[in-house]
């Protein structure tokens, strides 16, 4: 039996303490994933939120592994 371990995707969003509410900052989940789904319904790698709040992105790797990450600002 051969076992191949595929690491979980590791998306990156800025920490809440580096975000400035209302500053039009871009949230970028990082490149190299096959798909992105934000809690806003957007499917781009990066978004610029229109309002302060809670944002979550789930990324899918090319191996079909998923990982969610969230931030608040």
Per-residue pLDDT of the chain (73 residues; tens, 9 = 90+): 765 555 556 666 655 555 565 666 788 888 888 999 999 999 999 988 877 778 888 888 887 877 776 666 5
Judge whether 8 lies within some domain: no
Q: How many domains, the chain?
A: 1
Judge whether 40 lies within some domain: yes
Judge whether 7 lies within some domain: no
Structure-block tokens of residue 36: 């992105």
Q: pTM of the predicted model, to two decimals?
A: 0.71
Q: What is the spatial distance between Cα 37 and Cα 54, in angstroms, rounded to a whole number? A: 14
Judge whether 5 lies within some domain: no
Range of the domain at 20: 16-72
């Amino acid at each position: 039996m051969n076992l191949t371990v595929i690491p979980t995707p590791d998306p990156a969003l800025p920490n809440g303490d580096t975000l400035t509410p209302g500053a039009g900052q871009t949230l970028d989940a990082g490149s190299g994933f096959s798909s992105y789904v934000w809690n806003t319904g957007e499917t781009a790698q990066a978004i610029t939120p229109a309002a302060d709040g809670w944002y979550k992105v789930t990324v899918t790797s090319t191996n079909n592994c998923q990982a969610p990450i969230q931030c608040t600002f």
